[in-house]
Amino acid sequence: MNSAMYLAAFVLGAVIAMYLLSRVALWASKGMDDSARSVIVAHAYALLVALIASWVVFGVLGIMAVVSYGAATLFWMAVDLRRLKRREAEREISN
């Protein structure tokens, strides 16, 4: 497998893994208030878990793992913050 395919597979894996980890973290934080802070904390926790798991599995924490998981986390966090903003706007309209 050439390096471009390896990189694409790693990034796709990071996006899928961070989606799943962030959903678990968001589910676990249901007791917290529904705010941007809780979304950011849940995604930070998911990133920490992913980086620790990557370090345990691969033995080293490479820059590729940090960048891939970090970028995937930022993507899903932006999606979740946008959803939160949309929900807050809908609540204001219905009130």
How far apart are alpha carbons 50 and 13 in whole angstroms? Answer: 11
Q: What pLDDT shows up at residue 57?
A: 81
Quote the domain boundaries for residue 54: 3-94
CB neighbours of residue 24 within 10 Å:
14
Please give the mean pLDDT across all residues of the chain: 87
Number of structural domains in the chain: 1
pLDDT tens readout for residues 9-22: 888 989 999 999 99
